Structure 1
Amino acid sequence: MPNDTRVTGFILMGFSAAPELQTVCGLFFLVMYLAVIMSNLLIITVITLDLKLQTPMYFFLKNLSLLDVFLVSIPIPKFIINNLTHNNYISILGCAFQILLMTSFSAGEIFVLTAMSYDRYVAICSPLCYEAIMSSGNCVLMVGVSWATGILFGALYTAGTFSMPFCGSMVIPQFFCDVPSLLRISCSGSLMIIYISLGIGMCLCMSCFYCVMISYFYIISTVLKIPTTRGQSKAFATCIPHLTVFSVFIATACFVYLKPPSDIPSITDRLFSVLYTVLPPALNPVIYSLRNSDVKCSLRRLQQNLCPRDSYYLTVQRFCQCYSASQVTSKCF
C-alpha cells in the first residue's frame, strides 16, 4: 500500500555519516569555497578597475565570473553548514529556492558563454565591423537577455517540479536539491509539466551548443586563411580560454544529467555533482589568468598600485632608521 504521507522537508545526503568526517569535509569545502569566491571576485575587480579591459570580451567575462560566484554560493554554503552542524535537513521552500537559483544561473552561464562565442566570431571573421556590432548597448542587451532567459527558465523548471506532490521517503541522495532526485520521491501520476520544462531546456541548450559550434567552425576557417603562423597563434589564443571553459561546463553537466540513473545512488553520483557545481567556477579564473596575457598584465598593474615597490623600500628604510636610532639610544643609557 503506498505511503501517502506528505513530505514537508528533505534530508540531504552528505559524503559520510561519521561526525568527525563531516567536520573535516565541511572545513575542506569551506577552504575550497573561499578560494573560488576570492579568485572570481579578483577577476571582477581587475576587469572593473582596469580601463584597458573595458572591451566586450572582458565585459562578458566579468558577467561569467559573477554568475560563477552566485552558482557556487547556492549549494556549497548550505553543505558546509550541514557538515559542521551535523544537520542535513532542508525545507521544501529552501529546496525550491536551490533549484530555482541553480537552474537560473546555470542557464544564464550557458547563454553568456554563447554570447562570448559570437563576440569571438565577430572579432575574427568581421574585424572591421566589430565596434559597430559589439557596441556597449548590444553587449548589455545580450547579457540582459541571458540573465532574463535563465531566470525565466529557472522559474518554469522549478514550478514544474514543485507542482508535483511528494510522499514517502524524505532522503535526497545528493548534497543539494536536484530534479532527478526529487522525481524519485514524487507520487504524481503525471509528469507532463516537468517533461515540458525538460524539453524546453534541452532545446535551449542544444541551440546554444549549435551556435557555439557554428561560430568556431567559421572562426577556424578564417584563422587558417591567415598567412602567418604568428597571426594564427594570436587568433587562437583569444579563443582557447573560452572554448576550454565552455567544454568544461558542458562536460560536467553531461556527467551529472545525462548519466544513466542508478537504482542505488552511490557516492560517485555526488562526486560528479561536486564537479558540476565547483569545477567550472574554480577553473574559469585559472584559465583566463594563466592563458590571457592581458589579465596577467592587469593583475601586475593592480599589484603595483596596491603595493608599489617605492613604498616597500621606503617602509624598509624607515624601519632600519628606527632600529638604528633605538640602538644608539640604548648605548647612550
Structure 2
Amino acid sequence: MSNSSSIGPFLLLALADTRQLQLLHFCLFLGISLAALLGSGLIISAGACGQHLHSPMFFFLLSLALTDLGSICTTVPKAMHNSLWGTSHISYSACAAHVFFFLFFLSAEYFLLTIMCYERYVSICKALHYGTLLGSRACAHMAAAAWASAFLYALLHTANTFSLPLGQGNALGQFFCEIPHILKLSCSKSHLRELGLIAVSVCLLFGCFVFIVFSYVQIFRAVLRIPSEQGRHKAFSTCLPHLVVLSLFLSTVMFSYLKPPSISSPSLDVALSVLYSVVPPALNPLIYSLRNQDRMDKAAA
C-alpha cells in the first residue's frame, strides 16, 4: 500500500482474540467508567451545593475532574463498543478526533496539576498573600491558559500526524488511536516533523516537571519549619492527594513511553496504555473525593 487512499476510510484497533476476553474487557472498561463518573460526580455535586467552589483549590479540582471525565469519554466508549460487538473498525476522521481529544485532555490535566502545585505552594509558603496571588480572576486566567495551551498542543500534533501519508497497513495495535502507532503506518520520512514537535513537547513538559519539583522542595522546607507536629501533619495532608495523583499520572506515562524496547510486546503495550490513559482519570476524582470528603461535607452543609 503506497498511500492513504489505498487504506480506505477505516483503521483497525486492537481487539482481544476470544469472545470471553472481549466481554472481560467490556466489563473492565464499564467498571472504570462508573468509577470515573462516581468520583467526578462527587466533586461536581459538592461544588454545586457548597460555597467552597470559590476556593482556588476546589476551583482547580473541579477543572481537573472535568478533564478526567473528558479523557475517559474519549477512549473508553469506543473500546466498550468494540469489545461488546466484536468489531475493530474506526473511521479515519474519528481516529483524528480520538487523537486530538486524547492529547487535549491529557496535556490539560498535566498543566492543571502544575497549577495545582503552585496553589499548594502559595497556600503553605505564601499564606499571607494567598488571596492576592490566587484571586478569582488570577485562577480563571491560569485555568484558561492551561486549556488554551492544551488545545494548541493537541491541534499541532493532530494536524501534523494526519498530514502524513499512510502506507504500511491499517492495523494500529491499540484500543484507541495513539500517535506512535499511527506514525508506524506512515510511508513517508516526513514523520521527522512529528519528532521535532515531540522534542519541543518534552522541553515544555520537563519545564513543568522542574517547576513542580522546585515547588515541593520549598513546600517541604516550609512544612519542616512548622513547630507543632499537628501543624506539620495538617499542612502535609493538604498536599498528599495532589502528590498521589501527580505520581500516578507521571509514573504511568513515563513507564509507558520510556520502557526499554526489549520488554515491548503488543499485549504489554495495550496494558500500559490502559494504565496511563484510563486508570489515572478514573482514580484521580476518587482520591481527591476521599481525602477531601470532610471539607466538602462541611462546606456543603
Q: Secondary structure at the match of 2:12?
A: strand
Alignment of 1:216-227 (within 5 A): 216-227=216-227
Higher relative contact order (CA 8 A, sep 6+): 2
Is the 8 Å Cα contact of residues 13 and 175 (structure 1) preserved in structure 2?
yes
Q: Secondary structure at the match of 1:66?
A: helix
Question: How much does 1:51 deviate?
Answer: 1.1
Does 2:294 align with 1:296? Answer: yes
Question: How much does 1:118 deviate?
Answer: 0.5
Partner residue, 2:136: 136
Partner residue, 1:314: none
Question: How much does 1:39 deviate?
Answer: 1.8
Partner residue, 2:90: 90
Larger radius of gyration: 1
Alignment of 1:320-331 (within 5 A): none
Partner residue, 1:281: 281
Question: How much does 1:54 deviate?
Answer: 2.7
Provide closer, same or farther for how the CA distance between residues 182 and 260 of structure 1 changes in structure 2, counting only shifts above 3 A.
Answer: farther
Which 10-residue stretch deviates more, 182-191 or 153-162? 182-191
Alignment of 1:79-158 (within 5 A): 79-158=79-158
Q: Secondary structure at the match of 2:209?
A: helix
Is the 8 Å Cα contact of residues 11 and 171 (structure 1) preserved in structure 2?
yes
Provide closer, same or farther for how the CA distance between residues 262 and 182 of structure 1 changes in structure 2, counting only shifts above 3 A.
Answer: farther
Question: How much does 1:278 deviate?
Answer: 1.8
Deviation per CA, 1:140-188, whole angstroms, max 9, x where unpaired?
A: 0000000000010000011111111111311111101101111111101
Partner residue, 1:167: 167
Provide closer, same or farther for how the CA distance between residues 264 and 58 of structure 1 changes in structure 2, counting only shifts above 3 A.
Answer: closer
Which 10-residue stretch deviates more, 254-263 or 238-247? 254-263
Counterpart residue type for residue 228 of structure 1: S
User: C-alpha root-mean-square deviation of aligned residues, in Å?
Assistant: 1.8
Provide closer, same or farther for how the CA distance between residues 300 and 79 of structure 1 changes in structure 2, counting only shifts above 3 A.
Answer: farther
Question: How much does 1:266 deviate?
Answer: 2.3
Structure 2, unaligned runs of 5 or more? none
Give distance in 2, aligned partners of 1:197 and 1:177: 18
Does 2:232 align with 1:236? Answer: no
Return the TM-score normalized by structure 2.
0.93
Is the 8 Å Cα contact of residues 39 and 289 (structure 2) preserved in structure 1?
no
Give distance in 1, aligned partners of 2:214 and 2:190: 38
Structure 1, unaligned runs of 5 or more? 306-333
Is the 8 Å Cα contact of residues 99 and 158 (structure 1) preserved in structure 2?
yes
Return the TM-score normalized by structure 1.
0.85
Give distance in 2, aligned partners of 1:301 and 1:114: 25
Deviation per CA, 1:169-217, whole angstroms, max 9, x where unpaired?
A: 1111110110111111110122232012101211121111111111111
Partner residue, 1:48: 48
Partner residue, 1:189: 189
Give distance in 1, aligned partners of 2:149 and 2:165: 27
Partner residue, 2:200: 200
Counterpart residue type for residue 296 of structure 2: S
Partner residue, 1:245: 245
Partner residue, 2:255: 255
Partner residue, 1:66: 66
Q: Secondary structure at the match of 2:11?
A: strand
Q: Secondary structure at the match of 2:278?
A: helix
Provide closer, same or farther for how the CA distance between residues 164 and 90 of structure 1 changes in structure 2, counting only shifts above 3 A.
Answer: same
Provide closer, same or farther for how the CA distance between residues 254 and 263 of structure 1 changes in structure 2, counting only shifts above 3 A.
Answer: closer
Tell me the matched-pair count.
Answer: 298
Provide closer, same or farther for how the CA distance between residues 31 and 80 of structure 1 changes in structure 2, counting only shifts above 3 A.
Answer: same
Deviation per CA, 1:240-282, whole angstroms, max 9, x where unpaired?
A: 1111111110111112222234697321111111111222112
